[in-house]
Amino acid sequence: MHLGQFPHTRLRRTRASAWSRAMVAETRAHPSDLIWPLFVTDGSNVEQPIATMPGVCRHSIDRLPDLARRAADLGIPCLALFPNTPADRRTPGGEEALNPDNLICRGMRAIKDSGVAIGLLADVALDPYTSHGHDGLLHEDGRILNDATVAILAGQALNQARAGADIIAPSDMMDGRIAAIRAALEADGHHDVQIMAYAAKYASGFYGPFRDAVGAAGYLKGDKKTYQMDPANAEEALREVAMDIAEGADSVMVKPGLPYLDIVARVKAEFRVPVFAYQVSGEYAMVEAAVAAGMMERDRVILETLTAFKRAGAAGVLTYHAPRLAELLA
């Protein structure tokens, strides 16, 4: 029998005990790998459950400092804020995105003023603010106006940076928006504000509960397939990432998460930049539904999925399970 074959090589030897499995583990996760998305709404002392995302709530701004403290105490380094914009502030042009007192700007200022040492990520896109639910401006024939949208996105990014955003995260998938946002940030003196580009964001069926959470579900007219990526394409994702890096992105994101681990791995191998993945609302909802039905153990499954993201090369993960994951990892 040749060396390297059974019984000389028994791969189960290193799996036989917990201490040995820990010693040879190739992939490790830590609370610092997590970004916690939070939904912000109007009101006072509001904790409003989201029916399609069990365990997740919309929070009023006065609750955000305490949530930020909880995250920091758990070792979570960053929060991502998303608004549930009231209907009367949604317009075809999404002007509320430029309002320095919109929900996100007020929320970020509240957290910064509280003194909690935590990073803040601000989403850049118009869909939370438009009456038609699209990420950009619409021509009268229904086409997305890419270049006109980019100009507004740059203004939105400046608005958020002035309110305290540490990371600007454009999720709109317009061509050229990273260069425009980087130029605007530099010209306004925000040299240290990062850009995390949603570089490979797919036109996915996994976003439904998120649209409920931000109140956009009833507004969207048509679909987003002319600007979000075709799930069939991988090479195109590499082109998108290359463009965003060349235009000034500090890190990139793949969205959704688990169905696109191959994209995470390819982007990491090709570009060697920080790659983040968004474990989106539909992924979260599927886990929670299975747990509620007694089909899966939540803690085991969410740890396994986080490990899968890290194994694929993700520097970090945006996930609604972040607080529980941080508790488990601690």
Binding residue ranges for Mg(2+): 240
Whole-angstrom distance, CA of residue 27 vs CA of residue 16: 18
For residue 55, the 8-state DSSP code is T
Which residue reads 């305290």 in tokens? Answer: 164
Q: Is 225 a catalytic residue?
A: no
* Residue from 325, 329, 330, 327 nearest 35 by CA: 325
How many Cβ atoms from other residues are within 10 Å of residue 19's Cβ? 7
Which structure tokens are listed for 110?
């509240």
Q: 300 by DSSP, 3-state: which?
A: helix
Q: How far apart are CA 260 and CA 26, in angstroms?
A: 21
- Binding positions are 240
Question: Is 310 one of the annotated active-site residues of the chain?
Answer: no
The C-alpha atoms of residue 214 and residue 171 are separated, in whole angstroms, by: 14
Packing angle between helix 64-74 and helix 103-114, nearest 10 degrees?
60
Measured at the alpha carbon of residue 281, what is the angle toward residues 278 and 285, in degrees to the nearest 5? 130
Residue 17 burial class via C-beta count within 10 angstroms: exposed 0-12, middle 13-18, buried 19 and up: exposed
Secondary structure (DSSP) of 245-261 = HHHT-SEEEEESSGGGH
Rounded-to-integer distance, Cα 324 and Cα 71, Å: 10
243: closest CA among 182, 312, 165? Answer: 182
Of 105, 146, 99, which is closest to residue 123 (Cα–Cα)?
Answer: 105
Out of 224, 255, 268, 310, the active site residue is 255
Q: Which active-site residues does the annotation give?
A: 201, 255
